[in-house]
Structures are given as C-alpha cells and as structure tokens.
C-alpha cells in the first residue's frame, strides 16, 4: 500500500444560513479581487501617476465581471462544450463549479481593453499594474481548489502524496498546492522583482508579458502532475487541454516582452 499524508478535513462550506451557504471557493474570489485591487491602488499611487485611484476603484467591477463571465464561458467552451450544448441552462449554475483560468484571463483582457479605451488610459501601463496584482487571485483560487478536493493530481508514491476526497483511494500529487506555489506565490515574487528595474518601468508591456509567459510555463509544468479531466484525458502529442491552452500564452507572453522592450513610454 502506498504511503499518503492525511488530507486536511476542511468543510468547503464555511457557514450556512438556511439555503444560503458561504463557501471557501467564493471567498477566495473575493479575497483575490479585493487584495489585488488594494495592490493596484498602491501601485497607482506610489509608482504610476497616469492611473488614478478612481480608475483602479472603478475597474474592480469590470475585473469581477471579466473573471466570472470569462471563466465560466471558457470552461463551457474548452472543457464541457458537448454537455452544456445539450443542457444550456446548466451554464447558469455557477455554484456547481466549473471555471477556466484561460477563459477568465480572456474576460479580464477584454474588460481591460474596453476600460482603458473608455478612460483614455495607456493600455500597457494599466495592464502592467494589473499583471503584478493578478497572481494574488491565482494563489487564493488554487487554495480553494485544494479545500474542495478538486483538480487533484495524478497517482504517485512521493512522500507528500495525499488521498484526495474526490480522487479515489490512491495517493495523489497535491497539484493544487503546486499551482498555488508556482502560479501564485512564485510568479508574484518574480513580478515584484522585475518591476523594480528602471528599464522595465520605462517599457510598458514587459511586466504583462512576464505574467502571461510565467503563468503559461507554470501551468504547463503542473499539468504533468495534475490528473487530466476525465472526459478529456490526454489530447494530441501527449498534452492536456491545460497545456494546449497555455502554449499560445507562452508565445504571446514572449512577443509582448519583445514588443515592450522595443517601445519606450511616452507619458
């Protein structure tokens, strides 16, 4: 029998008031958005004067809609299209789970494009501020995935393996914690470090490129330890859906860094 660390017994529901339930998953979204917003306020006040505090305050609602709508639609289109096309009303049942980071990122990008155009804010300058704050939400989101026992890892015999409550009787990689560490904590620290270089501050777009590239690489690595979605499995070339969706992110992130390095800010 394989050795496994006991999985922490944490109820996904924090508290219930009749039919109303407050879950760690929803609280993770709230924490991520609010803390990210607070960091954007700090950066706009201390570092970037072309973005006002009012801009960052107003963008919070735009970002929330982008994350929720984009994340849900991305999951529907990329992961469970056949299921939802046969039962489209289930798309509205977001409380049953089913969100895609790649879809959420697309939603936030669209929200950012519309918002900066409406406010006449330099797009890449605003995007760089948003990029530094984004790993905060990823960190809390992956911790919530761990508490829910979802998106569990592949079967393994490593000493830190755990038996996921949704993954059957075999020990598995705690891949949600790998993602929290790489996509959240490590990427956040890298962005903070890179943002201190004067060259980066003079060239908008580099930080956004670092974020997109960093996430794509981190997700591609973690997918090697994460159990593929049962209804999708391993796709062509031995890659998972998460890896295929991360590939264009890696390419785009590199391209954005190159573009940013060649164009110095004018405001």
| C-alpha 8, offset from chain centre | 23
Residue listed under structure tokens 């990823």: 138
CB neighbourhood size of 130 (10 A):
26
Instruction: Name the residue ranges covered by the structural domains of the chain.
Output: 14-262
Contacts of 18 (CB under 8 A, 6+ apart): none
Residue 155 · residue 228 · CB < 8 Å: no
Give mean pLDDT in consecutive 10-residue pieces for the chain, a chain of 267 residues: 74 80 85 93 79 91 91 81 76 68 89 94 94 94 90 92 88 95 97 93 94 96 91 84 93 96 82
CB neighbourhood size of 75 (10 A):
22
Q: What integer pLDDT is reported at residue 178 of this predicted model?
A: 97
Q: What integer pLDDT is reported at residue 1 of this predicted model?
A: 47
Q: What integer pLDDT is reported at residue 95 of this predicted model?
A: 58
* Burial category of 86 from C-beta neighbours within 10 Å (exposed 0-12, middle 13-18, buried 19 and up): exposed
Residue 129 · residue 51 · CB < 8 Å: yes
* Burial category of 110 from C-beta neighbours within 10 Å (exposed 0-12, middle 13-18, buried 19 and up): middle
User: How far is 249 from 105, CA to CA, in rounded Å?
Assistant: 10
13 - beta bridge partners? 23
Q: What integer pLDDT is reported at residue 47 of this predicted model?
A: 65
User: How far is 253 from 89, CA to CA, in rounded Å?
Assistant: 35
Closest CA to 139 of 97, 94, 189: 189
């Amino acid at each position: 029998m394989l050795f496994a660390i006991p999985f922490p017994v944490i109820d996904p529901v924090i508290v219930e008031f009749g039919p109303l339930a407050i879950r760690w998953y929803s609280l993770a979204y709230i924490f991520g958005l609010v803390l990210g917003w607070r960091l954007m306020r700090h950066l706009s006040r201390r570092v970037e004067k072309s973005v006002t505090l009012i801009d960052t305050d107003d963008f919070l609602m735009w970002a929330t809609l982008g994350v929720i709508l984009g994340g849900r639609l991305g999951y529907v289109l990329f992961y469970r299209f056949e299921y939802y096309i046969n039962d489209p009303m289930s798309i509205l049942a977001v409380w049953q789970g089913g969100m895609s980071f790649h879809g959420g990122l697309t939603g936030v990008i669209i929200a950012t494009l519309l918002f900066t155009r409406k406010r006449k804010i330099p797009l890449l300058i605003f995007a760089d501020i948003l990029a530094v704050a984004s790993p905060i939400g990823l960190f809390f989101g992956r911790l919530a995935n761990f508490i829910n026992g979802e998106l569990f890892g592949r079967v393994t015999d490593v000493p830190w393996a755990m038996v996921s409550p949704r993954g059957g009787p075999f020990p598995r990689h705690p891949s949600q914690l790998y993602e929290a560490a790489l996509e959240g904590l490590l990427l956040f620290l890298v962005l903070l470090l890179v943002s201190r270089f004067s060259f980066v501050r003079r060239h908008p777009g580099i930080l956004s490129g670092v974020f997109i590239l960093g996430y794509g690489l981190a997700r591609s690595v973690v997918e090697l330890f994460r159990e593929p979605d049962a209804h999708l499995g391993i796709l062509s070339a031995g890659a998972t859906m998460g890896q295929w969706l991360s590939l264009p992110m890696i390419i785009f992130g590199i391209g954005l860094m190159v573009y940013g390095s060649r164009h110095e800010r004018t405001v």
